[in-house]
Amino acid sequence: MDDQPTLVTGGTGFVGIACVIALLADGARVRVTVRDLGRTDDLRRLVGLGGGDPDAVEVVAADLLDDAGWDAAVDGVGHVLHVASPFPVRQPRHDAELIAPARDGALRVLRAARDAGVRRVVQTSSFAAIGYGRAHPGRPYTESDWTDPDGRGVSAYVRSKTLAERAAWDFVEREGAGLELATVNPVGVFGPAIGTDLSSSLELLRQLLSGGYPMVPRGTVSAVDVRDVADLHVRAMRHPDAAGERFLAVSGDAFEYIELARLLRDELGERARRAPTRVIPDWLVRAGAPFSRELRSMATELGRRHDASHEKATRMLGWVPRPREEAVLASARSLVDLGLVPR
């Protein structure tokens, strides 16, 4: 086992905590960056709730928007899991609010890793960098597909993840000096919530369970369990053939939104009685699109499927995800257990 620590950026996030716990279970020494050391106790509490040893984690301060702290963060590190990146519940007013932290932050981490002699960085990208802004390929999306960041209806988040990943690959090719890069591109990340600071996917479920969406649009969402996403990060970090590769993290075909709501109602019974049973007419989504960024994004995606394949990750790394239903229901039940769904 590698004696050098592994650095995880964004360790207090949903995927970041899962990666920390997976690394500890794998026997790795773990160092975690947070923007504010005041969150150290919260981080350690979440690690403990997830079954890890809170005292086994070293915590350092570093911000994606500032050079300060990164040299110290990567000092003596063998690998970096660069997980940190903003994922808003609502679209920001200005695209730069997401694009600058994602793109410039990735380059800041890669530059520091290269200068410190880190062997490999595994960057958390997204399906957002794969499946938007272009005509549907007529097949499941794969790692060979790329989003067109200037395509019609592409949101700020989708642009930020695409530009950040493109910038990372360009940097490693031109200035990497031997630094290895792999990316993990998850679809909607579900699975059990540990704390009450919810990711966008968990917030979607909370809204469905709480009656926040009386109707849903005619669209799809794909699912993968956060524990499997973390496992794929560790495999991409360890496997010698993973360098220079992208890996989609997805479990099965995409859910129709109404299909997702039906699954919640069928499996959670009374706790999901507020889940929607109707689909918003397409004309209503389009009518509201000029007045709402969210509806504008929905209108662009009406009727489109976002099925994707994990064949590459399974073939190269032996990665086998949980069923999509298990990932979603684990999320929903954890939200109930945490008291985040009204009785």
pLDDT confidence bin for 18, thresholds 50/70/90? very high
Residue 72: what pLDDT?
A: 96
Catalytic, out of 161, 233, 246, 306: 161
Question: Mind giving me the DSSP string for 186-249?
Answer: ESEEES---SSS--HHHHHHHHHHHTS-SEE-S-EE-EEEHHHHHHHHHHHHH-GGGTT-EEEE
pLDDT confidence bin for 234, thresholds 50/70/90? very high
Q: Is residue 48 part of a domain?
A: yes
Residue 294: what pLDDT?
A: 73
For the full predicted model, state whether its pTM sits above 0.85.
Answer: yes
Q: Is residue 277 part of a domain?
A: no
* CATH number of the domain where residue 93 is located: 3.40.50.720
Q: Is residue 297 part of a domain?
A: no
- Average pLDDT of 295-321? 89
Q: Is residue 219 part of a domain?
A: no
Q: Is residue 208 part of a domain?
A: no
CB atoms within 10 A of CB 296: 17
Cα–Cα distance, 161 to 168 (Å, whole number): 11
- Average pLDDT of 76-93? 76
Taking only the tens place, the pLDDT of each residue in 262-278 is: 999 999 999 999 999 99
The number of domains in the chain is 1
Q: Is residue 171 part of a domain?
A: yes
Residue 89: what pLDDT?
A: 46
User: Is the pLDDT confidence value at 136 over 80?
Assistant: no
- Average pLDDT of 62-87? 90
Residue 88: what pLDDT?
A: 52
pLDDT confidence bin for 151, thresholds 50/70/90? confident
Q: Is residue 86 part of a domain?
A: yes
pLDDT confidence bin for 40, thresholds 50/70/90? very high
Residue 59: what pLDDT?
A: 96
Q: Is residue 302 part of a domain?
A: no
Cα–Cα distance, 253 to 111 (Å, whole number): 37
Contact 77, 138 (CB under 8 A): no
- Domain of residue 314, residue span: 6-190+225-250+307-321
Residue 312 annotated as catalytic: no
